[in-house]
Structure 1
Amino acid sequence: MANNQIEDLRGFNAIYYFSQAVGAAIVVLVSLWTIHHRGGFAWRSDPAHEFNWHPLLMTIGMVYLGGNVNLIYRSLRNYGKKELKLAHVSLHSVILFMVLFGLVAAFDSHNFADPPKPNLYTLHSWIGLLTVILYFSQYVVGFFSFMYPGIADSLRAALMPYHVFCGVSIFIMSSCAVLTGLLEKAIWTLGANYASGGGEGFLMNFIGFLVIVYTFLIGYLLHKPAYKRSGRAKNS
């Protein structure tokens, strides 16, 4: 019966474009925060500023692009299935590169600090590392299951619900990682100034608020059955 679901796209475009505006605002504000308030970017010669790549790349990759890569079969529904599969895996590859780059920046900022800082002892780091491990596992399993030729259609059909569930779960976990990371950074770097309602603290809170809004918008677009591609569209 699920294959007979009738598309009803009323409201889809409005919510989709609003979600893209919110996502773009997140990217702009994180860029503003890391450049204006945190001093910009560097590499291993300056571990403190190297760290700034971490929140920027993780937010753009795992949250903004992560939401869009989950939504691609709905946002670009008029394209053929082969084109969408290629776009889906290509965007995941871009995200994976950004994630690896962001992870290196985070570990370098601890390992090359003077004195070195410990790694992986906060809740944010636990959530983030688990999310990255799951993302990489999802990427590998998804690539060999849906892109590798010769896999039986019955196996692909059996794996698809789990693939979709894991993709949405990883997206939600990514948003949780960003929220805990923002709070952790605000407490550690702003200290008592965080409670004073200063400009940087407000900006960080507002970024977190927009991440929540973006997550709910993408979640709604993914959850509503009427927004799913119809059986006809899937085979086009």
Structure 2
Amino acid sequence: MEYYKPFLVILSCAVVVGIISIIFVLRWVLYYQGGLAWNGGLAEFNWHPVLNISGFIVLQGLAIIVYRLPWSWRCSKLTMKLIHASLNLVAFIFAVVATVAVFDFHNAAKIPNMYSLHSWVGLAAVIQYCLQLVLGVGLYLVPFMPVSWKMAFMPIHVYSGLILFSSVIAVALMGITEKLIFSLNNPKYKDLPPEAVFVNILGLLLVVYGALILWIATRQSWKRPNDQTLHSLNSDGGGEDGTKVGPALSQLSDAAEGEDFGEVRKRSNKYDDQVN
């Protein structure tokens, strides 16, 4: 991999920020908002931010970049597809349970549903995420699907995934702001009490996490090479078991000297789309 050390630094920062975000949302609901329960009350509503941040944001972000992890390149493409799909499925389950929790709380408290921009965009994101998951599994895990269909849908699949991830973070920011406005009365949100400061920092953490994930996901030089290239590099690296994938990958950059590395990647990725 090109620029392996910067990749490792950014990946480590993303993981740390993601974990801190989960800790922050748990601290928020357990210390400021009355804890967690499933009883139709406020404690049930608190599952909504916890599950959406931990699953729909943090876990979805990891699913997006799982192909970029160089130590996972020892695994077959099919294995990585299954891991990618599994992480997204768990994130989707978290999002569904979080949505059920907020509807259940609203119905029990006689609060209208689906009146805010947060709820409109949020529900649209859940529905689109479901479609993305179904189409992704149907096209890329069903073996008899035509290669032409896979190639045609891949740009849409990637673009939709990144748009969804960004949208979910935006929805979370709208949601936590809306929650603070409604729940803080004395002092009010505009007076910036400790809870408001704490949750605003949580919002900043989500933005930073999203920026780091999108940076990793959009670097062409960090993209997984195709399986044929990996097999060739493993053999050149002196081991058939894939134990020397990392050092061997540096040969890909050496081979591209005097030639545009992007063109090497384009040919490699085009071949990969045709055989997977």
Q: CA deviation at 1:69?
A: 0.5
1:211 is aligned with what amino acid? L
In the TM superposition, what is the alpha-carbon distance from 1:172 to its structure 2 partner? 0.3
Query: Alpha-carbon deviation of 1:155?
Result: 1.4
Query: Once the two structures are superposed, what CA deviation does each residue of 1:57-98 show, in whole Å capped at 9, x if it has no partner?
Result: 011111101111011100233422111011011111111111
Determine the C-alpha separation between the residues in 2 that align with 1:78 and 1:126.
42
Task: Please give the per-residue CA displacement for 1:177-227, whole angstroms capped at 9, x wherever unaligned.
Answer: 100001000111014432222211111100000001111111111111111
Task: Provide the rounded CA distance (Å) in 1 between the counterparts of 2:5 and 2:37.
Answer: 46
Aligned to 1:22: 17
Q: TM-score normalized by structure 2? A: 0.79
Unaligned runs of 5+ in 2: 231-268
CA contact (8 A) 2:52 2:98 kept: yes
Map 1:74-89 to 2 at 5 A.
74-75=68-69, 76-89=72-85
One-letter amino acid of the counterpart of residue 33, structure 1: W
Q: How does 1:164-183 map to 2 (within 5 A)?
A: 164-183=158-177
Q: Higher RCO, 1 or 2 (CA under 8 Å, sep at least 6)?
A: 1
Which segments of 5 or more consecutive residues in structure 1 lack a partner in the other structure? 1-5
Counterpart of 2:88 in structure 1: which amino acid? H
Q: Distance in 2 between matches of 1:26 and 1:178?
A: 12
TM-score w.r.t. the length of structure 1 is: 0.92
Alignment of 1:207-218 (within 5 A): 207-218=202-213
Q: Deviations over 1:104-145 (max 9, x none)?
A: 1010010011xx010011111111011111100101111111
Question: Which residue of the partner structure matches residue 141 of structure 1?
Answer: 135
Q: Is the Cα–Cα contact under 8 Å of residues 175 and 211 in structure 1 kept in the other structure?
A: yes
Cα distance in 2 between the residues matched to 1:41 and 1:13: 35
Output the amino acid matched with 1:19: A
1:47 Cα offset (Å)? 2.0
Identity of aligned residues (%): 34
- Distance in 1 (CA, whole Å) between partners of 2:74 and 2:157 is 22
Residue 100 of structure 1 corresponds to 96
Counterpart code for 1:77: W
- Which residue is equivalent to 1:63? 57
The answer to whether the aligner puts 1:220 opposite 2:204 as a matched pair is no
Counterparts of 1:78 and 1:48, CA distance in 2: 46
Does the aligned pair in 2 maintain the 1:7–1:230 contact within 8 Å?
A: no
> What RMSD in Å do the two structures reach over aligned CA positions?
1.7
